[in-house]
Structure 1
Amino acid sequence: MDIRAVVTGFRDAEPLSGLPDSWHWSPAPGIDFAGALSADGKRLLQLSGRNSYDQELAVSTLRFAREHEDTLFSSNSFLGALGGFEPPAGHRFDAVVGIAPEVHRFYRVENPDLTPHVRLTFPAYSCEFSGEETLDEAITRYRMLRLNHLGREPLPFLKMRYANTRTRGKSTNPGRGLTEPARLVEELRLMDGGTGSFVEFENRHGDVWRAEWHGSWFVAEWNSQNGTPRQIEIDELVEFATARLRDR
């Protein structure tokens, strides 16, 4: 497929200043796309912004993705993230994420032949990805992150399993499932005082902790032979748990 011919055929497509073989187009007010040919010219690296497009950020992201594409997808072919990204002033992103066609399925309706040749790339945060996401997890994570909101805050990677004896709420999956940090904080506070309640939470490094209520809160490393439970107050527990999700 002639990627260049396809992209330049998009309505209102024009060269993106500051990066060779790249373009910008806007199909509707508030929705902007930017795309660049891969280094070998065989793929389109593309990002989008919804009411948040920043051309300087787009150029920086696409340039980084083009220069590091092989490394970006080397550890995970579905959802690859690479740190070391330095965004323009005013942004706090520290990574770029690449999303495979099997995950994003972009253009599947209007131009399905193009879909296999497109890798989405967005500025992101290192704390948001484990590098071990399965295809199903990559799809879930892609939908959770709202990557086209280019002024967004980090949404750290979190897998969680819990049982709340106060609300009778509990996980429905057999293992720890992907969720948002706000859910972890909410459940911890809701189960405060509920004897037998517990939460297991896992960060992007695969480190797991388990917090239980037995008259007081106790927390321990769950995947470590040296994980000795220690007593902790609820506010300290919430602070501890949220900090572990941002561990480098």
Structure 2
Amino acid sequence: MNLRAEVAQFAGVAPLPGLDDAWHWSPAPGIDFVGALSQDGERLLQLSSRDSFDAELATRILAFAREHEDEIFARNAYIGALEGFVAPEGTRFDAVVGVAPEVHRFYKNEKPELTPHVRLAFPAYSCEFSGKETLDEAITRYRTLGLTDLRRGPSPFLKMRYANTRTRGRSTNPGRGLADADRLLDELRAIEGGTGSFVEFENRHGDVWRVEWHGAYYIAEWNTGDGRPREIGLDDLLDFAVARLYA
């Protein structure tokens, strides 16, 4: 496929200053796209934004994605992330995430023949991806992270499960499922007073902790510690959990 010819058909497309074989187009106010050819010219590396376009940030993302494309997808062919990105002053992104066609399905309606040749690239945070996401998990992360907001804060990778004997609330997934940090903190607070209640949580490194209530909070580190529970106060527990998610 002649990707240059395909991009040339986009309405309002123009060269992206500061990067060869790269373009910018905006189909509607507040909606901006940039794209750049991969080093071998076989793929279009594309970024989109909504009401948050930053030309310098977008150009740096595409340059980084072009130079490190193989490394970005080395650990995960569906949604790969690589640390070491240097963002413009005033932004905190420290990684770039790449999204494969199987996940994003971009152009599936208007130009389905183009979809397999497009990989998306967005600024990200190193705490957000484990490198072990399944296809379904990759799709969920892509849809829920708000990647097109180039001003967003971090949303750390988290998988959890829980059961609360007091409220009768429990997770419905058979194992630990994707969740957000606020949900984890809410469930940790909620098990107080529910004897036998528990919350398990896993960070991007695959480290797992189990918290139980038996008249007090007890926490045990399952796969890297000795597995023996220790008592911990609620404030310390919440601080501990947040620190592990952002590690």
Can you list the C-alpha shifts for 1:38-65, whole angstroms capped at 9, x where unaligned? 0111100000111001000000000000
> Which residue pairs with 2:104 in the alignment?
104
> Which residue pairs with 1:52 in the alignment?
52
1:82 aligns with 2:79: no
- Counterparts of 2:96 and 2:224, CA distance in 1: 31
For residue 197 of structure 1, what is the amino acid of its counterpart? S
- Counterparts of 2:137 and 2:23, CA distance in 1: 31
> Which residue pairs with 1:218 in the alignment?
218
Q: State the SS of the aligned residue for 1:48.
A: strand
> Which residue pairs with 1:70 in the alignment?
70
1:172 aligns with 2:158: no
- Counterparts of 2:4 and 2:167, CA distance in 1: 56
- Following superposition, the deviation at residue 234 of structure 1 comes to 1.0
- Counterparts of 1:10 and 1:106, CA distance in 2: 14
- Following superposition, the deviation at residue 103 of structure 1 comes to 0.3
Any unmatched runs of 5+ in structure 1?
Answer: none
- Following superposition, the deviation at residue 227 of structure 1 comes to 2.3
- Following superposition, the deviation at residue 225 of structure 1 comes to 5.7
- Counterparts of 1:120 and 1:93, CA distance in 2: 16
Q: State the SS of the aligned residue for 1:242.
A: helix
Q: State the SS of the aligned residue for 1:23.
A: strand
Q: State the SS of the aligned residue for 1:142.
A: helix
> Which residue pairs with 2:118 in the alignment?
118
> Which residue pairs with 2:184 in the alignment?
184
For residue 200 of structure 1, what is the amino acid of its counterpart? E
> Which residue pairs with 2:242 in the alignment?
242
For residue 26 of structure 1, what is the amino acid of its counterpart? S
For residue 244 of structure 1, what is the amino acid of its counterpart? R
Higher mean displacement: 225-234 or 122-131 = 225-234
For residue 149 of structure 1, what is the amino acid of its counterpart? D
- Following superposition, the deviation at residue 224 of structure 1 comes to 3.8
Any unmatched runs of 5+ in structure 2?
Answer: none
- Counterparts of 2:98 and 2:167, CA distance in 1: 39
Aligned residues: 247
> Which residue pairs with 1:61 in the alignment?
61
> Which residue pairs with 2:194 in the alignment?
194
- Counterparts of 2:188 and 2:70, CA distance in 1: 40
Can you list the C-alpha shifts for 1:168-212, whole angstroms capped at 9, x where unaligned? 110111100001111001111122221111000000000000000
> Given the two structures, how large is their TM-score scaled by the length of structure 1?
0.98
For residue 74 of structure 2, what is the amino acid of its counterpart? S
Alpha-carbon RMSD? 0.8
> Which residue pairs with 2:32 in the alignment?
32
Higher mean displacement: 137-146 or 56-65 = 137-146
Q: Deviation above 4 Å: which 4+ runs of structure 1?
A: none
- Counterparts of 1:192 and 1:110, CA distance in 2: 52
- Counterparts of 2:56 and 2:237, CA distance in 1: 40
* Percent of paired sites with the same residue: 69
